[in-house]
Amino acid sequence: MEWQDVTFLQKNWIKKTAWILANFLTFSSLILAIIGIVFTFINPTDFNYWFAKIIALCSIFDFADGKLARISGSKKLAVDIDTIVDSISFGIFPAIYLGYTVASWPIQTWNIVAGIFTGLIYLGAVWFRLCRFIKRDPLYTPYFNGLPSPFAGMVVACLVIFPYTEQWVIMLSTVIISGFMLSKIPFPSFKGVPTKFDMFWIVSTTLCVVLFAVLPFDPNWMVYPAYGIAVLMIIYLIMGPGYAMKLDETLKLGLKEDTEEMKSKK
């Protein structure tokens, strides 16, 4: 079921409101990312918590503006503006943070090289992933090819919050999630009108990410939703591909039935 099939959402005032809100959230995500980039170079105390919260807020905004854009019927917004903002919020910003963090270890030549490598491999994976995304029709596909970049950004955000995370773990995890983004493994997009299972997944994930974003700057508080997000991420990585293929089969079956129905009417 697609958003255009929901009758009460087809009113003009609802579509216009959804379009305005989608634009507002998209550009709010861009502003937060730019602030985060500036803060990365200033490197204030406990900036890792600032970084994690900014990524969490950008993830929430990205999910919400996508839904609103589809309700408004604005394909232009979903494909062009949102993709450009994502390339900054979940590409340039985390890449600069990763590169700066790794290069800031006890100053040695190899640390600087490692920082540049970590940032570039992450940024390259995000941009390649987004480039492949816009070549398909992002409004009507039930799954993503490769791991979504907001998911990858939240992996990094959780890693920097977990206590005693070693630097080499951050580097290795960055390489692994970059590989998942470059892959063609299908992952559910949750773009259509949510089913009961989709609603459970969306609500539980959103609740964890919102708590992660609004709780005080204290590892004793933020670590709990971070663990919840980590568990949901593992479930998504393991069970997501199978569910995505099931959604794709359901969509194809529905299109086939619609085609046969149209033929029978002729």
Span 157-205, pLDDT tens digits: 888 888 777 778 888 899 999 999 999 888 887 776 667 777 888 888 8
Q: pLDDT at residue 266 above 60? A: no
In the chain, what are the domain boundaries? 3-265
How much is the pTM? 0.84
DSSP strands (E only) in 128-243: 143-145, 186-188
Alpha carbons 190 and 195: distance in angstroms, whole number:
9
Tokens 């590989």 -> residue? 179
Q: Across the strands, what pairs with 187?
A: 144
CA distance 36 to 63: 19
For residue 34, what pLDDT is reported?
94
Q: Are 62 and 27 a contacting pair, CB within 8 Å?
A: no
The b-or-e profile of 37-70 (16+ CB within 10 A means b, else e) is bebbeeeeeebbbbbbbbbbbbbbbbbbbbbbbb
State the pLDDT at residue 138: 52
Closest by Cα among 80, 79, 95 to 181: 95
* Residue 109 near residue 165, CB atoms below 8 Å: no
pLDDT of residue 126: 94
